[in-house]
Amino acid sequence: MMKILVLPLFQMNTGHHKVADTLIDFLRKQFPYVLCKKIDFLSYCNELMEKMVSEMYLRWIRSHPASYHRVYKTFMYHDIHRLEFVSFEPWLPYFESKMKKMLEREKPELIICTHSFPSRILQRLKRKKVIRIPVINVYTDFFINSVWGKRNIDYHFVPHADAKRELMTKYCIDERRIIVTGIPVHEVFMTKHPEIKRKRRPFHLLLAGGNQGLGNMIDFLKKARNSHLFRYSVLCGANKKLYDEIASWELPHIRPFPYISSPHEMNRLYNEVDAVITKPGGVTVSEVLHKQLPIFTMDYLPGQEQINLQYLEKQGLVYNLSGLHHYEQKIFHVLTDEVEKNRFYRRVHDYFAKIEKTAQDALEEIVATMCQGSYRALRK
């Protein structure tokens, strides 16, 4: 029985957990003899600390988004040495000790990091030769922040070819250890959006991001109440207040949904719609790109999502509605202009053309090779 640890961070539902669950689901199906265990490393260290840090994070990005973005960009995107000196350095021995104890207890043969912080701690332990367990970084944004461990990490599943070049040139990592997988999504999303022969009217839009943020969502929908240009399905997540308000309108063209945990149910919804309006989170955007649906964004969280948006806009993979007074007119233009739609599909095709293999395929090869090596060692 081979044991694999998967390490996200925080208990709240994020892309780090979604990717962790996706890979665990794949491994359990592909390798019945592999035991996978997901651990939120911060909660393992101290549950009260995890609660305090996550609450502080959410309060900060909601009340002072500009200052959060400045701090994130300065300390977590550009200069990790400054970050460690200012805030991490006194705590690093504590986290290293906790990680070492966790690994001694769990005894994994492979570790997958879907968050940068556990990766950073593991790199320090590997650099000191305290541990030799293979570690895979699985990146869940369209950029690589400075917290991730890099040189001492065994494999890197990166979102695009630019990220691979960055790791090779800036950190001198062997290209064989870097695989362009894109941001991992569940296999069910890897089927393209089905072709609809008839022209559907009105167009059907999916709004996603109500759980933590699409801050302009309610204002947007209030304007759409008296407009029947589109039908809307609204993912409210765990935001019951948002769900209840939309449901109270009792409008047939605006339909709220609570949190959807099933990838198959989510895929069914993607297949029903003509476009998606969402925040530029790495995992959700990647799912929608696989479905080849036009993506619109009108709001974003500071820090990660703001930096994601810069990359996505540069590549022409999203349409940014920020600052526009007439959202619906812009969306309608994109969905009815055949030239613009073809340009968008070409840009999506070009993005996926540079993907070397899926994260699932890359992980399968690594695990299969490790299992074969263990079998040969046992026979000797």
Domain ranges in the chain? 2-182+356-379, 188-353
Confidence of residue 311 (pLDDT cuts 50, 70, 90): very high
The first and second tokens of residue 312, run together, are 């996505």
With the CA atoms of 315, 173, 87 and 56 taken in that order, what torsion angle do they form, in degrees rounded to the nearest 10? 40
At residue 195, does pLDDT exceed 80?
A: no
What is the distance between the alpha carbons of residues 78 and 266, in angstroms, rounded to a whole number?
35
pLDDT for the residue 136:
98
Q: Which of 71, 61, 58, 69 is nearest to 11 (CA)?
A: 58
Of 56 and 259, the structure prediction assigns the larger pLDDT to 259
The DSSP code for 201 is: S
pLDDT-above-90 percentage for the chain: 63
CB of 2 within 8 A of CB of 33? yes
User: Residues in the chain, how many?
Assistant: 380
Confidence of residue 198 (pLDDT cuts 50, 70, 90): very low
pLDDT for the residue 343:
96
Residues 6+ apart with CB under 8 A from 141: 15, 159, 183, 282, 304, 307, 308
Confidence of residue 11 (pLDDT cuts 50, 70, 90): confident
Exposure b/e, 77-86, CB count within 10 A at least 16 = b: beebeebbee
The DSSP code for 254 is: E
Instruction: Point out the least confidently predicted range of 195-199, 214-218, 254-258, 327-331.
Output: 195-199
The DSSP code for 67 is: H
User: How confident is the model over 132-178, as pLDDT tens digits?
Assistant: 999 999 999 999 998 899 999 999 999 999 999 999 999 999 999 99
CB of 287 within 8 A of CB of 264? no
CB of 165 within 8 A of CB of 237? no
pLDDT for the residue 57:
66
Amino acid, res. 245? E
Amino acid, res. 235? L
User: How confident is the model over 42-90, as pLDDT tens digits?
Assistant: 888 877 776 777 777 667 666 766 776 676 666 666 655 544 444 556 6
CB of 154 within 8 A of CB of 177? yes
Sheet containing 155-158: give its strands across: 34-38, 2-7, 110-113, 135-138, 155-158, 178-180
198 three-class SS = coil
At residue 369, does pLDDT exceed 60?
A: yes
Exposure b/e, 327-351, CB count within 10 A at least 16 = b: bbebbeeebeeeeeeeebeeebeeb
pLDDT for the residue 180:
98
The first and second tokens of residue 62, run together, are 């909601």
Q: Which of 98, 17, 84 is nearest to 54 (CA)?
A: 17
The CATH class, in words, for 188-353 is alpha beta
What is the distance between the alpha carbons of residues 372 and 273, in angstroms, rounded to a whole number?
44
pLDDT for the residue 179:
98
CB of 285 within 8 A of CB of 260? no
pLDDT for the residue 238:
81
pLDDT for the residue 50:
67
Of 63 and 1, the structure prediction assigns the larger pLDDT to 1
CB of 230 within 8 A of CB of 206? no
Provide the phi-psi class of 292: left if phi over 0, else alpha when psi is between -120 and 50, else beta: left
CB of 158 within 8 A of CB of 181? yes
Task: Work out the mean pLDDT of the chain and round it to a whole number.
Answer: 87
Q: Is the pTM of this model over 0.75?
A: yes
Domain 2-182+356-379 grouped into CATH 3.90.600.10: no
What is the distance between the alpha carbons of residues 259 and 229, in angstroms, rounded to a whole number?
26
